[in-house]
Structure 1
């Protein structure tokens, strides 16, 4: 659509020429149409990404759909670009976006560097665009070496179409032409787009409006209007024509700075230095990093997976911020970002820091030999994220401010475990660990949310982390002379270890033989049929019917022995309900009725969908198999097979026959890469070589290696009651209420007239107990002498009959 032209009469023009001694310069054209259409991000399914290995260049690029997606600067949680791609026109008959009109191939061109090349060939056979990506290790510049080839029917015109979304917002940008570059700004972030050839035409406008250069170009395949500035805040779009022939190679530079002048100077300096020099230094940085690590595991080299392993390690390092050292975001993506508002709403996406994910990354880095990175993360956790009460938030932005606002107790425990694994036993760290351990004792074991971040209650996976955290904290306490705290932590952990099965293992479930761990239980009574409302659109269900494989944390963290019979008994239900054999190997759902994934038709998740398969769960299962002396090589191979051509392992993969652009067993539009997935791959590889899970804290495993440090006392009493009456057990131990009826342990009537319940007791302790009946405020004790028992073994079954 052409812009309106200003007309003046010949008489007025003559008068003006007479009145002025010299011709006046033409006024710069300001783009109309602000603020333009609304803005969104791009799909979370990235095919490649990169950043320099050093800290001087604070810029990260992502690739997908054959083009550049989000670019982050100056920190890894600030997105500044929706997309950057080329537009091709013949000037008369067609105008095409390379994203929409080409067949695409992405290639990792250096197996020891995050160096990617995109090759896009026009579906009409007219042209090919080959792009090689790097960042300038000395500056905040993304460099794109581009070869444009006309394959038939030239000449053709080439344009760079840049859609900035600076400072995490797509609607606050202003832009202009300056010194032959396209510059833009939003608050503290500015960008400059420059080309080594220069631009022959430049324009800035507002998306979807008449000033949008792509809209103008699409109208008649000619760029008619050029606007020198777009001064009103809005959804800025910038377009620059690049002079090309039939085979032209040039470099595009996207530089960033605190203002437009700084961004422009950065882009210009990178172009002056040249793509080859920057790319050589970029690759050398990654080569040196990989060379500083432990030898590649035999499980990797023997399976031909060295490139996959190296990319996984580089991915973990690349997700660490360069200002807030030790802060690794979960993913450089915004899952299903194409359906998410980018209008400055403050959505963190996955570029936030979860202490749980950081633990996963750090344990992989420890195994690979990058203990320096893991130590930086431990310092970040306890310096930036830890709250005064010892808790850790659900997740944060890099500066420690809340992103989401819930509390997950495994995220309080994992930093303690990490510190223990790093042998950070000094007094200063102990003072911080004590706060977190005390918080766990006072708030656990029930958690406001478990690791899938949606529901609260008694979670096997969370309780496993809490127990491991307390045992690690006890060891650190003892090393610092605080035996009282050490005793408190161990006693609490032992009680929870003895009771975790009683809280979360149902014997009356509707799946399989009815005996398995639930995903989560609201009140610690796994047989009462309480309902759970899944917070992602998954519906309302009997909690006994919702399972996941989170209970395997009990083995991986050393809380239960590898051959624990209850853990083994739960696997058939997990596999029959959650396992899918994909073309790439077996994978598992998070849990049944999960609603976190694409819709049935493959549309983006916007609050309800169908949960898909998670490759990292294949890795977790592999660690369990290793702990039991079985092979996990197939699990490692499956994880590698789930990676895309850029060697990036996704959060989720498509779970059924290929349809709607998705391939069975391949990544979806969720988060690719997910740092946790890449970390699990690395850790599993080292675990295979070690013959056991390398993340298992030895101090935890040693305590519970014989199956228990305390005894799971399982009370069962046959008692008939009338409506409104309930049966309790009480005794001389604190765990049994210390003879106080108000603190008596409630029993379940699910198998009425048998009333049952489980209590964790210290081993080899002789105790006394009795049953009592409550009806409102009235308490009736059973008759006869106190019952006496001794807590021996790991499980103590007490079968009694009410004595009237």
Structure 2
């Protein structure tokens, strides 16, 4: 067997990435060994390996590693799992007169990505590998001793570390079959220790669980990034993203969604590590959680989002964590919420301040959960319950309009700037919206957080009318936009999103599959069948079973948004378990028992 070593020596420090623009964010595959001894992660683009991360998940080390035939890349490709129960992927490539398959794994014992190549050609060809580091001094090109006729098979390796060539050569000495078996075994054993719901597609469910597990950094337990991708301007505009990011960062909100999904899947250990990371690495001295952090806990963006500060209270309740260290940290978070709420500097879409029904839902539920944890430890949480009750009682007066243009009946708004929802206060929506909008004419499906977290009854008439308004304004087919006139997405002709001021180029947010999951959880509470919503999420998967952040309005396939998005995979996992349970598994009973009529007779409420 002929082999090629592509060795890249990197210091174990973050790599400045201003010199290279990442490949498109719609990754076809994402993989790593289950073992912590292999601190390297690969992504697969449309023509080969795209970004490889080393030594952690906040550090993209390479841009691409591409197979070239007679100096040119493939003209078409398709990526699929090579094994339904591991993150092993096979990419089929096609060019003029030749076809190839490349199978990707990492070495569980060291920092090496291995690619096994089989190539067939109608005539002898020259086969090489182009390897582009994220901060290159020159482009590395190495020949594989293949011609597609007499020699059709070879392996190449990309090694990392202080002695990267030796690392790669050691992996090659073991041979691809042996390394691939060990790689697969690690994932097989992981999945064997978990449960699987009846409702989900088995293959997509297993892939989703593995993708979520793979987003955890191996040197910083509990640090799970949002996505191993860099969509649009976050990849090329250094004014808004001085370094590559921010998706390869840890967001408390995304971390919470992944953790609750993993609790349902049976990986409680990951959820415990996630809570520890929130409270030990992300919590700031005043009690709030950083908007996002690197995997080592260093804050990156610094705006305050109250739903993220509530997240560890909700997660701690799900886990039943009442140890002293956790309770002390939760008290700091709860005190911050009480002192600074209910107005948030940013709501969950991160570009507006004000009274957000979704944020208030998280804060109310978080305070009730924390008060319940206090009760369990013999302490008094009455003061926190008093605040929670007040905000729950007033959320409609702050965020429900009765004078809006979309319905004669009251409905929830995305947010209000002033807590006066019947007043036409105007604000700019951001993301290249050129003018200001009347707050009464901006809606968002996120108000359903009130229902999903037990703060409002699913059968509440204002909730029902708001669902009808959102469907009328934001629904396309079976999917939803984030909010009215969302601008976070490509231009009308498909060019990448960027911030273009003072003369904005209009951009358009597309449809988000996570809302299918959130709607499904709401419908379960109404006694409806949510399995169609689960299938809706599944339909957005690409051939590598990666679930996207956004999909196009015409094809309902992934845009060039962040893919895979951990939140989307988490929503798929959690909805599957909710369908099996007949109720949203994330919903805290202690909150629903306090605020929702008709549940007080249930055993959980006694």
Q: What is the aligned counterpart of 2:51 among 51, 67, 70? A: 70
SS at match of 2:120: strand
Q: 1:349: how far off?
A: 2.9
Q: What is the aligned counterpart of 1:501 among 377, 396, 399? A: 396
**Partners of 1:689 and 1:631 in 2: CA distance:** 11
Q: Structure 2 stretches of 5 or more lacking a match?
A: 1-17, 500-505, 601-606
Alignment-derived partner of residue 157 in structure 1? 126
Is 1:463 aligned with 2:354?
A: no
Alignment of 1:201-600 (within 5 A): 236-245=138-147, 246=149, 247-257=151-161, 259=162, 262-294=163-195, 296-300=196-200, 305-336=201-232, 340-341=236-237, 345-483=242-380, 486-513=381-408, 515-538=410-433, 539-581=435-477, 586-600=478-492
Is 1:58 aligned with 2:31?
A: no
Q: 1:342: how far off?
A: 7.4
Alignment-derived partner of residue 99 in structure 2? 128
Instruction: State which drifts further: 308-317 or 474-483.
Output: 474-483
CA contact (8 A) 1:66 1:120 kept: yes
CA contact (8 A) 1:497 1:708 kept: no
**Partners of 2:467 and 2:272 in 1: CA distance:** 35
Is 1:619 aligned with 2:521?
A: no
Is 1:682 aligned with 2:559?
A: no
**Distance change (3 Å), C-alpha of 1:38 and 1:370:** closer
CA contact (8 A) 1:560 1:707 kept: no
Is 1:700 aligned with 2:602?
A: no
Alignment-derived partner of residue 768 in structure 1? none
Q: TM-score, normalised by structure 2?
A: 0.92
Higher strand content, 1 or 2:
1
**Distance change (3 Å), C-alpha of 1:264 and 1:337:** farther
**Partners of 2:198 and 2:146 in 1: CA distance:** 49
CA contact (8 A) 2:234 2:244 kept: no
**Partners of 1:347 and 1:436 in 2: CA distance:** 30
**Partners of 2:223 and 2:414 in 1: CA distance:** 29
Q: 1:400: how far off?
A: 1.6
SS at match of 1:96: coil
**Partners of 1:381 and 1:625 in 2: CA distance:** 31
**Partners of 2:577 and 2:193 in 1: CA distance:** 17
Q: 1:319: how far off?
A: 0.2
Is 1:637 aligned with 2:535?
A: yes
Alignment-derived partner of residue 26 in structure 2? 45
Deviations 1:679-703 (CA, angstroms, capped at 9, x unpaired)? 0000000000111100001111111
Q: 1:488: how far off?
A: 0.8
CA RMSD of aligned residues (A): 1.7
Deviations 1:35-82 (CA, angstroms, capped at 9, x unpaired)? xx9521111100111000111100000001131100001101100111
**Partners of 2:277 and 2:562 in 1: CA distance:** 24
**Distance change (3 Å), C-alpha of 1:342 and 1:164:** farther
**Partners of 2:341 and 2:275 in 1: CA distance:** 22
Q: TM-score, normalised by structure 1?
A: 0.70
**Partners of 2:19 and 2:377 in 1: CA distance:** 57
CA contact (8 A) 1:44 1:669 kept: yes
Instruction: State which drifts further: 245-254 or 503-512.
Output: 245-254
Q: Structure 1 stretches of 5 or more lacking a match?
A: 1-36, 90-94, 175-235, 657-663, 710-804
Is 1:646 aligned with 2:541?
A: no
CA contact (8 A) 2:29 2:45 kept: yes
Alignment-derived partner of residue 20 in structure 1? none
**Partners of 1:274 and 1:280 in 2: CA distance:** 10
CA contact (8 A) 1:43 1:338 kept: no
Instruction: State which drifts further: 271-280 or 398-407.
Output: 398-407
**Partners of 2:237 and 2:34 in 1: CA distance:** 31
**Partners of 2:429 and 2:409 in 1: CA distance:** 21
Alignment-derived partner of residue 144 in structure 1? 115
**Partners of 1:650 and 1:348 in 2: CA distance:** 17
SS at match of 2:585: coil
Count residues with an aligned counterpart: 574
Deviations 1:520-548 (CA, angstroms, capped at 9, x unpaired)? 10111101110121121234100110000
Alignment of 1:90-109 (within 5 A): 95-98=71-74, 102-109=75-82
**Distance change (3 Å), C-alpha of 1:456 and 1:314:** same
Q: 1:473: how far off?
A: 1.0
**Distance change (3 Å), C-alpha of 1:500 and 1:368:** same
Q: 1:705: how far off?
A: 2.1
**Partners of 2:599 and 2:304 in 1: CA distance:** 28
**Partners of 1:513 and 1:238 in 2: CA distance:** 65
**Partners of 1:136 and 1:389 in 2: CA distance:** 42
